[in-house]
Structure 1
Amino acid sequence: MPTIFAIEVGDQLLLGTVTTVDGRVMDQAYWNQRNTLVQVWATWCPFCKKQNVHLDQLVKKIPPHSLNVLTLSIDKQESLVVNYMNKNNYDFPVAMMTPQLSQAIGKRRGVPELYILDKRGIVIQKDYGLMIDLDFFELSKYAQK
């Protein structure tokens, strides 16, 4: 039987060069500067909608450039994601899931799924499903002063 891979705490996730839906380009050197929060989500997911509110609040709460943030949408159409971001006035970075990133992350248990990576790309925390607001805001401990 083939082994099903799913990235776990202690594994390395190198994001490489990522282009967001609004055209921002971030390369591996960018990710190596500080810890990174990666969230996998979808516009149609009710739990993601709730968690994105928390993510937006967290991004506004922490000092600028203290934590990299990248969200990866698994939606099929980029236009749905752009409309969702505009409708909700979110400005956290969102890119479309690519086959390469999907393979690197492996099997997901559902959405939202969240990873915290250290500067080397090592997964230091993994959560899936809706995180309660207090647990989500606790992620600010990974922001570097």
Structure 2
Amino acid sequence: MLSRLRQWWRGHRLRRGLVELLVIAGVFLVLRAWLQQDMANGPVPPLAGTTLEGRAFDLRRYPERPVLVHFWATWCRICALEQVSIDAVARDWPVITVAMQSGSAADVQQYLREAGLDFPVINDPDGTLARRFGVQAVPATFIVDERNRIVFRERGFTSEAGLRFRLWLAR
């Protein structure tokens, strides 16, 4: 009798744990969809400008490989945690980052120098580019494929492995 009770309890706990896990996953997916609802999807909005290094950049001129478009800010602590990953990905994939509401170009350049970062940056002091992409909070990341379509979008922290995997899938 006692062994049957133990078996029933173990099975019940397993089912209960599985139900709890499914509820948590469902809440996560709904929250993620809600956070991304205003972010651009489908055809990529225009993204052109001059990088802090003085190079002209136009996102629509990258037809050969997927491109990582990353919005960040100097004042964002989550962005600071993610920047080493963005810098590493930029060595192997086309990357453009947009410094949103982070001050003057000189302020952003100083920040990059102090942090030892080398990825390309377009400064967006008034948030114009961010609004085109529906970015209301940073970090925000988009993967754009060869047809200039947004195939992945993420708001919040993303790992280097996650970025590389999404870029690989977008090929």
Bucket of the pairwise TM-score, normalised by the shorter protein: 0.7 to 0.9
Deviation at 1:89, TM superposition (A): 2.4
Unaligned runs of 5+ in 2: 1-36
Distance 2:94 2:170 in 1: 8
Of the two, which has the highest radius of gyration? 2
Question: Of 104, 117, 134, which aligns to 2:144?
Answer: 117
Which structure shows the higher helix fraction? Answer: 2
Distance 1:139 1:83 in 2: 30
Kindly indicate whether structure 1 or structure 2 has the higher relative contact order, using CA contacts under 8 Å at least 6 residues apart: 1
Question: Of 2, 22, 41, which aligns to 2:53?
Answer: 22
Secondary structure at 1:47 match in 2: helix
Aligned pairs for 1:56-95 (under 5 A) are 56-60=87-91, 62=92, 67-74=93-100, 75-95=102-122
**TM superposition score normalised by structure 2:** 0.66
Alpha carbon RMSD of aligned pairs, Å? Answer: 2.4
Q: Encode CA deviations 1:102-144: one digit per residue, 9 max, x unaligned.
A: 3321242x21000011123211000011123432342451586
Deviation at 1:19, TM superposition (A): 0.5
Deviation at 1:99, TM superposition (A): 5.4
Specify the code of the residue in structure 2 equivalent to 1:101: L
Distance 2:43 2:87 in 1: 27
Other-structure match for 1:102: 130
1:31 aligns with 2:57: no
Distance 2:60 2:44 in 1: 15
Would the aligned equivalents of 2:40 and 2:134 in 1 still touch at CA under 8 Å?
Answer: no
Distance 2:96 2:65 in 1: 13
Question: Of 18, 39, 52, which aligns to 2:83?
Answer: 52
Would the aligned equivalents of 2:60 and 2:148 in 1 still touch at CA under 8 Å?
Answer: no
Runs of 4+ in structure 1 displaced over 4 angstroms?
none
Q: Paired residues, what number?
A: 133
Residues 28/129 of structure 1: CA separation in 2 closer, same or farther (3 Å cut): closer
Unaligned runs of 5+ in 1: none
Residues 120/137 of structure 1: CA separation in 2 closer, same or farther (3 Å cut): closer
Q: Encode CA deviations 1:32-51: one digit per residue, 9 max, x unaligned.
A: 34321110000111110111
Percent identical: 26
Specify the code of the residue in structure 1 equivalent to 2:44: Q
Specify the code of the residue in structure 2 equivalent to 1:122: R
